[in-house]
Amino acid sequence: MRISLILGHPNPGSFNHAIAAAAREQLLDGGHQVDFHDLYAEGFNPCLTPPELVPGSPIPELLSGYCAEAARADGLIVVHPNWWGQPPAMLKGWVDRVLRAGVAYKFGVNDKGEGVPIGLLRAKAALVFNTANTPVEREQAIFGDPLEGLWKRCIFDFCGVKVVDRRVFSVVVTSTPGERERWLAEVRSMVAVRFSQA
């Protein structure tokens, strides 16, 4: 399988980077092809430009490479921190620019964009790994876990990916080395189970 792995965290020493490394290692050990992108390290430009809003307009070559990878992926993995109940702006910009109309979804004939989208991604499954410094109970009770709906319904279901597993690791700031090792083992296990070779 070909898996697209997207990391959105600016600190190379972050636990997010450790999660991405564990996921990537597990995928490679499982015989998968991996398209890995550390968006900050690559200097991905998250700013959607006005010409990109016009359907059918040509897009920059570098961006078209990201789009092609997302379109051909058999599965997707996204890793990012929970900042203000949402992904970092860098990753949100990747969603805006890469999971675009004509690549990740389309609308039916004679639909001007007001109808029900038709998902185009070939990926059958996605994994989302988040880190947080808010205890899970507080996140659920006070904030309602906005990332759950964002990734499962607003993004992946919209683009045709029906199987989405999400795991939040919290509280990272006070976690022990032992806890982090257990969490990384869980990442490897989830990746192995979800993307087992058929």
The whole-number pLDDT of residue 186 equals 98
Q: Is the pLDDT of residue 194 over 70?
A: yes
Given a contact cutoff of 8 angstroms between Cβ atoms, the answer to whether 107 and 38 are in contact is no
Q: Which of 108-122, 152-166, 180-194 has the lowest mean pLDDT?
A: 108-122
Alpha helices by DSSP H, the chain = 15-29, 39-42, 61-72, 89-98, 136-138, 146-149, 177-194
49: number of CA atoms within 13 Å, CB side? 8
| Residue type at 59 in one-letter notation | I
Q: Is the pLDDT of residue 28 over 60?
A: yes
- Domain, as residue range, for 187: 2-194
Partners of 131 in beta bridges: 81, 169
pLDDT (average), residues 13-41: 98
Q: Among residues 6, 2, 21, 1, which one has the least CA distance to residue 156?
A: 6
Given a contact cutoff of 8 angstroms between Cβ atoms, the answer to whether 97 and 46 are in contact is yes
pTM across the whole model: 0.93
Q: Is the pLDDT of residue 137 over 90?
A: no
Q: SS3 for 135-188, per residue?
A: CHHHHHHHHCCHHHHHHHHHHHHCCCCCEEEEEEECCCCCCCHHHHHHHHHHHH
Q: Is the pLDDT of residue 157 over 50?
A: yes
The number of distinct structural domains making up the chain is 1
Question: CATH no. for residue 81?
Answer: 3.40.50.360
In this predicted model, what pLDDT tens digit does every residue of 49-90 receive, in sequence order? 998 888 778 888 889 999 999 999 999 999 999 999 999 999
Would you state the structure tokens that stand for residue 144, as one six-digit string?
Answer: 């309602």
Q: What is the mean pLDDT of the chain?
A: 93
